[in-house]
Chains A and B, each alone.
Chain A
């Protein structure tokens, strides 16, 4: 079974703090993604990576950065957390194999910025 794990289920941070969200997958997937989920807006792509040390901006990258030093690990960084970054953050991974479309998701991190 594919397993995608996220470092925290719940996190509370103060405005201005630097926040690290970690994601690890155990299926040797090339592609990894970070989304945020907000009511009425669905899942929106923040950043994704299709190889180690590679990263591409998604639809809402402002205020975020990412790091992928190892194939299995993809980190999302909030350089200076703000209250509008309070959200559910979801990590996903997928294979680059031809014809493979499904993304596998972690359980999510509920981040609250006060």
Chain B
């Protein structure tokens, strides 16, 4: 049972345009959401996060939107740059035995075309 879903395995965007990556979740107990970026042969690196009590968080070119009623979040990158080409994972957090467990989506491969 996939609790966090990224339905688009890949996305191709022109340099300078907006990239929008989507993520859906099913568990209402998730209290925090994160986006990670992963280059080949490297571990994922944290990009941006949002608390379940907020609907928007912005950090430079990256903005995450949360729609709790729809159980949907999205990551907007504007303007997109070639260095943004990577796999993006969304993750949802739930507390278990004092540890914040993360549940990850399947990932979306973003390609930025020059």
Using a CB–CB distance below 8 Å, which chain A residues touch chain B?
A: 4, 9, 30-31, 33, 35, 40-45, 48, 50, 56, 58, 90, 92, 94, 96, 100-108, 110
Contacts and interface: CB of A to CB of B under 8 A. Distances in A.
Given A43-B89, A105-B45, A106-B43, A100 B106 contact: no
Interface of B: 4, 6, 9, 32, 34, 36, 41-46, 49, 89, 91, 93, 96-107
B44 A90 contact: yes
8 contacts: A42-B89, A44-B104, A90-B43, A96-B99, A101-B49, A102-B49, A103-B102, A107-B42
A31 B100 CA distance: 8
A82 to B, nearest CB: 23
A107 to B, nearest CB: 5
A42 B43 contact: no
Contacts of A44: 104
B114 to A, nearest CB: 26
Contact of A50 (B6, B9, B93, B97): B97
Given A50-B99, A102-B46, A105-B44, A42 B104 contact: yes
A92 B45 CA distance: 11
